[in-house]
Structure 1
Amino acid sequence: MADYYPLLARALEAMPDRSPALRKAVYERARSALIGQLRSLDPPLSDADIDLEARALETAIDRLETEHAPPPEPVREPEPLPEPAPPVPVETPLDLPEATPPEPEPERKPEPLPAAAAPEPAAPPFLPPAPPPDLGATPFMAPEPPAGPPIIPIQARKGRPSAASPAAPELVEAPAESAPPEPTGADLVADPSGGRQRPRIDVVSPRAGRSRLLRNAVVGAVLFTVIGLIAVAAFLLRDKPADLQPVAAEQQDAVPDGAESKYADRIGGEAVTPPAAPTRVAPTPASPNAAAPDVTVAQRAVLYEENTSATNAQPTTIPGRVQWRLETVNGERGQPLETAVRANVEFPDAGISLAMTLKRNLDATLPASHTIELVFTTDSANAARRTVQDIGLLQTKDEENTRGSPVSGLPVRVRDNLFLIGLSSLRNDIDRNTDMLLHRNWMELAVKFSSGSRAILNFEKGAAGTQVLEKAFAQWR
């Protein structure tokens, strides 16, 4: 199971903004890229292996989210509850003897008022809230008008004659100089609280006929204006069609043959045969065998396997061969075909072979410029001893016996005999990896077998590998 934490951490470090939304987008693209890579491998993986790698990716995502999550807010201590108010003491009713009712006081007779004083009007009696008294038969004394603006006469509500004057004549508009009529009892509203009575005012709705007439007038004016403009335009353009016919004929003659054919096809007429155009030959994708004359020439390969039979024993050397060629592989998620470099390394005496595929990465969320897919195959006789469980980074060197320099990237174990290497997408690392892959003549890969022994695969680029890599990088640019 691979550790995806360094790969995702490097991708987040390269981002200027590490907001939760962008981090979530990177995680989603990483999930889709991983599942797509795993399902496109040949031979295909089982669902159990894919689920195992998906769980490893989720573990790395949870670890990154823990690191990038904001610190938890300090827990605020709850405010102390206010002290409850002391209970109101409830007096216990005491059994007291019944009090004797007080003797009624003798009624006091009002003192007589002097005869010279004018009698004051009695205050209106208190009216109970329900039911309201019938004010129709109650005599009403109009209060003195207060000093202020003149009182506006209020017309009695139509359809409800006053009970105090059943035979009232029809109302006639009085001149402005005449005194306003006094409101009758039917037009007054009693205040339930026993206050002063106020007159009832009718709300007069606005007249609808005037607005309808105004709207009809506006619509008629607009229609009349539009009709007049149409008539004027028709009068001014009555001679224009005859003048425009020659221009239309010239434009029709200027239509290219291709357009005439399209128009004839659309209206159902006979198609006009256009003049023969020079035939364009569609470019065919370059076949792997046409990359170079010596592409299929096998180059040297050597397997150095650790000898565990004796202490300090010399490693076992097994010769092999490698073939380089260009391949056209399917793009990711509906993308066009993509050029890839394929190296088949075989060691017949050891019963193990390696298929290495180098291709450009087109997934923007995956922080890798290129990906290297490594698929090992062992025969049945050597499956128990030489099943590859782990690998190191790919190294390049000038000579077979010199020390190599690793490329900038990250190896990922998918399962036994299946691994991926993602090359760094930083600009300096891209230039360094490209220079090493193009100008170093040997490649070296350290592996660890299931038996516990270790081995190193050395394979040569030669002229065939150099030409294939140069052509591939030229197309990728």
Structure 2
Amino acid sequence: MADFHPILARAIAGLTDKSPEARRAVYDRARAALLSQLRSLDPPLSEADITRERLSLDEAVSRIEAEIALAEAIEPSFPPLPADERRDPAPLPEPERAPPEPRPSPAPAPAAEQIFDERPAIREEAVPTRPRVAPPRARGVNPGHVRTAVVGAGVALAVAVIAGAAYYVNKINPPPEPTVRPRAEASGQPPAEQSGKISERAGAEATASSQGAPQRGPAVPGAASDVAVAQRAVLYIEVPDAPQQPRTVPGRVFWRLDSDTVGQGQPVETIVRATVEIPDAGLALDFTIRRNTDQAFPASHIIGMRFTTTGEAASDTVREVGVPQFKTDEGERGAPLSAISSALGENLFVAALSNVQVEADRNLDLLQTRPWIDLPIRFASGRRGIITFEKGVSGSQTIADALARWRG
């Protein structure tokens, strides 16, 4: 189920009229649009799934109303003053001031002391004043623009997250092939061991793999990524006894172009597919990027994330996934995409990228120019982790080819 709370909260915050009637109108529109979108999906959802999403939306509405009621209760309210009390009171007579007591004149200091006393005075004048921190500059993207887009869509974003979620459950959930492919064993060069601190890039790119590896789905003509090249990937898992020294598990990632259809009678769409494999942790990730072709779905692109936990090393499932972050170097903190991440089920997640023009342009810039990707995750056991993987030459070329096809 998706979390409607942040989406509805932003929609309510952007309202000029925040009266109960205006809020109720937003909630009613969200419920009606949600039911309409969910019932129009093909293949259709079960009534149990639809009811579960309706309850999730109602829970978010109740939470927002409780927060508003709490804020109103905390804010002090004072009754208006009577008319006679609002008038300016008569001025009170000024109290008589006692004559100031004469201050005793200080005894003259010796000449030597006067000479040395002047130096601290000069030093005090020479000490620069404490610098004041300038107020933060206005951001390039005004938060009001985002709120305007959300409110103008009439909580369409809230509906879109669930509508898209229900669609991608059917698109992402069926595993297309085994997690570990034979070509990975033949081509992947294991990276060097690393310490807990992410500071160095170890090893070079692995050698090219076999040319005859099977492809999933219809082949994309002219794709430059038919030759699978293993790029580096690392899983960092939180250690409860040593939070500052996470456990590192090396892995690999394969990038390539793929294709898929959004429905019966629809044209074939080019998608980016990255398969991250962490064999020693029993974890694999199918990471896909596709453009959004549904005009009713307020998102520029869709990122699908399907995890697979297999083998003896698999510990627990993935419960939460953050928004993907793109960065220039492996050891730095990444810049998150402007997107909303939502859980569709066990080990299944989707991120809807913003279609606000300024944010969409920024997202595309991050996709094209940043060579490393961070994906924050939380396991069902509560442990946190980060999957870090690089685009490399194959990933950069794959994304560039996909963007060129989407523009054309």
| TM-score bracket for the superposition, by shorter chain length | 0.5 to 0.7
Given candidates 223, 238, 249, the residue that maps to 1:306 is 238
Which AA in structure 1 matches 2:266? Q
Query: How far off is 1:407 after superposition?
Result: 0.5
Change beyond 3 A, Cα 1:5–1:453: closer
Q: How does 1:289-438 map to 2 (within 5 A)?
A: 290-292=222-224, 295-308=227-240, 310-312=241-243, 314-332=245-263, 334-379=265-310, 381-383=312-314, 385-438=315-368
- Residue 262 of structure 2: SS of its match in structure 1? coil
Please give the alpha-carbon distance, in whole angstroms, between the structure 2 residues aligned to 1:350 and 1:47: 37
Please give the alpha-carbon distance, in whole angstroms, between the structure 1 residues aligned to 2:273 and 2:310: 21
Deviations 1:79-101 (A, max 9, x none): xxxxxxxxxxxxxxxxxxxxxxx
Percent pairwise identity: 44
Partner of 2:403: 473
Please give the alpha-carbon distance, in whole angstroms, between the structure 2 residues aligned to 1:9 and 1:49: 24
Partner of 1:3: 3
Which AA in structure 1 matches 2:401? K
Gaps of 5+ in 2: 17-21, 68-216
- Residue 281 of structure 2: SS of its match in structure 1? coil
Q: 1:443 aligned to 2:364?
A: no
Which AA in structure 1 matches 2:331? N
- Residue 280 of structure 2: SS of its match in structure 1? coil
Change beyond 3 A, Cα 1:371–1:38: farther
Query: How far off is 1:475 after superposition?
Result: 2.0
Query: How far off is 1:343 after superposition?
Result: 0.9
Which AA in structure 1 matches 2:403? F
Change beyond 3 A, Cα 1:14–1:297: farther
The answer as to whether partners of 2:234 and 2:249 remain within 8 angstroms in 1 is yes
Deviations 1:367-394 (A, max 9, x none): 21111111111015355x3311111110
Which AA in structure 2 matches 1:4? F
Query: How far off is 1:15 after superposition?
Result: 11
Change beyond 3 A, Cα 1:439–1:47: farther
Please give the alpha-carbon distance, in whole angstroms, between the structure 2 residues aligned to 1:416 and 1:440: 29
Moved more, 45-54 or 454-463: 45-54
Please give the alpha-carbon distance, in whole angstroms, between the structure 2 residues aligned to 1:425 and 1:435: 14
Please give the alpha-carbon distance, in whole angstroms, between the structure 1 residues aligned to 2:271 and 2:311: 30
- Residue 368 of structure 1: SS of its match in structure 2? coil
Q: How does 1:78-477 map to 2 (within 5 A)?
A: 287-288=219-220, 290-292=222-224, 295-308=227-240, 310-312=241-243, 314-332=245-263, 334-379=265-310, 381-383=312-314, 385-477=315-407
Q: 1:52 aligned to 2:57?
A: no
Which AA in structure 2 matches 1:456? I
Change beyond 3 A, Cα 1:461–1:449: same
Larger radius of gyration: 1
Query: How far off is 1:19 after superposition?
Result: 12
The answer as to whether partners of 2:27 and 2:61 remain within 8 angstroms in 1 is no
Please give the alpha-carbon distance, in whole angstroms, between the structure 1 residues aligned to 2:268 and 2:337: 26
Change beyond 3 A, Cα 1:303–1:10: same
Gaps of 5+ in 1: 68-284
Query: How far off is 1:52 after superposition?
Result: 2.5
- Residue 389 of structure 1: SS of its match in structure 2? strand
The answer as to whether partners of 1:307 and 1:316 remain within 8 angstroms in 2 is yes
The answer as to whether partners of 1:304 and 1:456 remain within 8 angstroms in 2 is yes
- Residue 468 of structure 1: SS of its match in structure 2? helix
The answer as to whether partners of 2:260 and 2:271 remain within 8 angstroms in 1 is yes
Please give the alpha-carbon distance, in whole angstroms, between the structure 2 residues aligned to 1:351 and 1:46: 32
The answer as to whether partners of 1:29 and 1:365 remain within 8 angstroms in 2 is no
Change beyond 3 A, Cα 1:342–1:311: closer
- Give the alignment's Cα RMSD to 1 decimal: 3.8
Change beyond 3 A, Cα 1:377–1:286: closer
- Greater length-normalized contact order (CA 8 Å, ≥ 6 residues apart): 2
Query: How far off is 1:360 after superposition?
Result: 1.4
Query: How far off is 1:300 after superposition?
Result: 0.9
Deviations 1:112-166 (A, max 9, x none): xxxxxxxxxxxxxxxxxxxxxxxxxxxxxxxxxxxxxxxxxxxxxxxxxxxxxxx
Please give the alpha-carbon distance, in whole angstroms, between the structure 1 residues aligned to 2:318 and 2:249: 17
The answer as to whether partners of 1:289 and 1:295 remain within 8 angstroms in 2 is no
Which AA in structure 2 matches 1:449? F
Change beyond 3 A, Cα 1:322–1:39: farther
Query: How far off is 1:297 after superposition?
Result: 1.1
Please give the alpha-carbon distance, in whole angstroms, between the structure 1 residues aligned to 2:370 and 2:11: 28
Report which of the two has the higher share of helix.
2
Query: How far off is 1:11 after superposition?
Result: 7.3
